Amino acid sequence: MIAPTLDDALAPITDGIMLAVPREVAGVPMEATRALIRRRVRGLHLVALPTSSLQADLLIGAGAVATLETSAVSLGELGPAPRFTDAMLNGRIRMLDATCPALHAAFQAAEKGVPFMPLRGILGSDILGHRPDWRVIDNPFADADPIVLLPAIRPDVALIHAPMADRAGNVWIGRERELATMAHAAAKTVVTVEKIVDGDLLSNPVLAAGVLPGFYVESIAVAANGCWPLALPDVYPADLGHLAEYARMAVTAEGFAKYLDEHVYAKRAA
């Protein structure tokens, strides 16, 4: 379960799969993302639960993504995500627009082993016109009460980063419970961690409630500072200077290619 190298741990992520990744404040596996780009993975159906930033922008710009399903991609205060914006304007990716509650509900359906999940809040919105796979039906238990049915999202692989794991493969995710939902919904879960610790995390009364049990985990690799240049909450902050540099360089295709050469293909880390 604990892989000898990062590339070994990432072996389940192959061309054309559905890959689920977390939001920016939940532990984004950026070192793993750079490794996937170096491997030139292609044709991914990328699902970001429920939003993404640098990770999705890098994967899209590098040509790894065929379909993107999320509710937003942005660099936040640094502005729009440039490679995502360019891909959308030029039709380079298929976009499945969603909302945060809809994505969470669809993952929860897979987590529970049911084919769909009902949701009410998006009734009357324009988004229903762009998602023919979302169905509006009459509530069978009431009259004149429409409800939206969202098909379960069952990723082939969920890819996450966490502060630590033990040698049995139990992973401490802390309070970021959507990481557990992703792992429950996915066929396989690949995890990078800051460190491997001795002992059994599940036997620790303080940590156990925040542990993802090892039977949900396919493979683990150590990737110290693995979220860089994004933050790992409660562990280290984002590298705002580097993110500003990315936002500046990635505005053009030439600048983005230079960024990849310097910070991805050259295997540079923080």
**Percentage of the residues of the chain whose pLDDT score is greater than 70:** 99
**Percentage of the residues of the chain whose pLDDT score is greater than 90:** 97
pLDDT at residue 270, rounded to an integer: 40
3-class secondary-structure state, position 268: coil
Neighbours of 185 (CB within 10 A): 24
pLDDT at residue 1, rounded to an integer: 86
Could you tell me the two tokens for 103?
Answer: 């994505």
Residues 183 and 50 in one domain: yes
CB-based contacts of 171, cutoff 8 Å, min separation 6:
162, 164, 165, 191, 193, 201, 211, 212, 214, 217, 220
Residue 109 has pLDDT above 50, yes or no: yes
* Mean pLDDT for the stretch of residues 118-145: 94
pLDDT at residue 215, rounded to an integer: 97
CB-based contacts of 177, cutoff 8 Å, min separation 6:
none
Residue 5 has pLDDT above 70, yes or no: yes
**Does some domain include residue 139?**
yes
Residues 52 and 140 in one domain: no
**Average pLDDT along the chain:** 96
pLDDT at residue 55, rounded to an integer: 98
Residues 84 and 132 in one domain: no
Residues 141 and 200 in one domain: no
pLDDT at residue 267, rounded to an integer: 73
pLDDT, one tens digit per residue, over 46-93 is: 999 999 999 999 999 999 999 999 999 999 999 999 999 999 999 999
- Which domain, by its residues, includes 146? 116-151
**Does some domain include residue 24?**
yes
